Amino acid sequence: MGRYVIRRLLQFIPTVLGTMFLLHYVTSLGIQFSGNPVRAIFGDRKPTEEQLAAMTEKLGFGDPCLEQPGNPCFGLFVDRLQDIFLRFDFGINLQKEPVTELVSRALPHTLKLVLIAIVFEAVIGIFAGVLAGLRNGSFWDYLVKISTVFVISVPIFVLGVVVRQYVGVEFGNVLRGQDWIPEVISRGVFGAGFIADYPTASLVIPGMVLGAVSLATTARLTRTSIMENVRADYVRTAKAKGLANRRVIGVHTLRNSLIPVITYLGVDIGSLMGGAVVTERIFNVRGIGSLVAQAATSGEASVAIGVVTMLVMVFLLVNLLVDLLYAVLDPRIRYE
């Protein structure tokens, strides 16, 4: 077990380095082909040569290799790695704020959002999947099948905008007209987006929107898995032993059926953090997603690299945790 964990951790190193290099290369190419992002700060007003040079140097876009299209800028990459791993310096953005500060400000919002999304999709998704899987061909099965197809086929930005308008604005306005409804519900939960006064309540609906697409997949996965396992030999044995139906389903069937679902949920934490780019913008949540989106539009290479590197680490760690969870669910799985 310990050796397994150490081996996995060592495998992180090439993955992280590889990702960072790819990111570094892509952002360098972006600057090489679309020009010094500092120039855009000045807009229609042309800065003097010295002014431009001073700002460029300060923001770390001064390396001459950034002017040679196609040059992979190895020197700059090594500098960057040293800054990040030796000095824990992720660079600064165009407003001269350190990336570490930007991330520490944004991270709590995204963590809350992702947590709400995961809980929502796990609880509702597994429940709906079990319901549909046990009563194959029933009304509930069709309801789950049809609604999941519907949710999967609607792009998240459409879903988000529709929910914001009809749940947050229209329905929320009706609630806000009632005196007996507490503000935490009428303004917080059913607000049109993130509100600083209610930092958690106002993330509930955005979190549900974020989790909606994965919820459908979770429900589908659980359904198939349950349908397979209820016919398995060990379930028949358990039934034959005369165990109560609740125990047969709840412990014997569900535990095994959840392995693919847990794998999916684990991988999903990573993609939810990425998917937050759209949801966070729609609901004005100033988390990691909007940070990445903003960095991409303004060409802030250091922000994009810093944030995505941290995301990759989270992704890898969560996957390691998921792999370790297998042993809990299925005693046959052992780690060497």
Partner 1 sequence: MRGKTLKVAVAATAIALFATACSSDGEDTTENNNSGGTLRIYASEPAFLLPSAGDDEPSILVIRQLYRGLVKYNAETGEPENDLAESIESEDNKTWTVTLKDGYTFDNGEPVNADAFIRAWNYTAYGPNAQNNAYFMKRIAGIDEVSGEEPAAEELSGLQQVDDLTFTVELKEPFAGFPAIVGYSGFFPMAEACLADTDACNETPIGNGPYKIDGSWEHDQRIQLARSETWAGEEKGAADVLDYKIYADVDAGYAAFQSGELDVMYTIPPARYQEAKQQYGDRMYEAPGDSFTYVGFPTYDERFADKRVRQAFSLALDRQGIIDAVFDGRFTPAEGVVAPTFDGYRPGVCEYCTQDVERAKELLEDAGGWDGEPLVLWANAGAGHEQWLQAVGDQLKAALGIDYELKVNLQFPEYLATADEKEFTGPFRLGWGPDYPVVETYLYPLYGSGSDSNSSGYNNPDFDALIAQGDAAADLEAAIPFYNQAEDIIVEDMPVIPMWFSKIAALYGENVDEFHWNKISDAEYGKITLKNS
Check: CB of residue 94 under 8 Å from CB of residue 43: no
Measured CA to CA in angstroms, residue 314 lies from 186, 259, 302, 310 at distances of 34, 21, 19, 6
Minimum distance, C-beta of residue 255 to partner 1, in the bound complex (Å): 42
Minimum CB distance to partner 1 smaller for 249 or for 282: 282
Collapsed DSSP state (helix, strand, coil) of residue 151: helix
Binding residues for partner 1, rule: CB under 8 A, are: 33-48, 50-51, 53-55, 58, 94-95, 97, 105-106, 161, 164-165, 168-169, 172-173, 176-179, 183, 186-187, 191-193, 195-197, 280-284, 286, 290, 294, 297, 299
Burial class, 320, CB count within 10 angstroms (exposed 0-12 / middle 13-18 / buried 19+): middle
Minimum distance, C-beta of residue 39 to partner 1, in the bound complex (Å): 4
Read off the tokens for 83: 């800054």
Minimum distance, C-beta of residue 46 to partner 1, in the bound complex (Å): 4
Collapsed DSSP state (helix, strand, coil) of residue 98: strand
Minimum CB distance to partner 1 smaller for 129 or for 289: 289
Give me the phi and psi of 62, to 5 degrees please.
Answer: -85, -15
Number of helices (H), then strands (E), in the chain: 15, 0
Minimum CB distance to partner 1 smaller for 197 or for 330: 197
Minimum distance, C-beta of residue 109 to partner 1, in the bound complex (Å): 9
Minimum CB distance to partner 1 smaller for 19 or for 186: 186
In whole angstroms, give the CA distance from residue 258 to residue 250.
11
Minimum CB distance to partner 1 smaller for 216 or for 295: 295
Minimum distance, C-beta of residue 207 to partner 1, in the bound complex (Å): 16
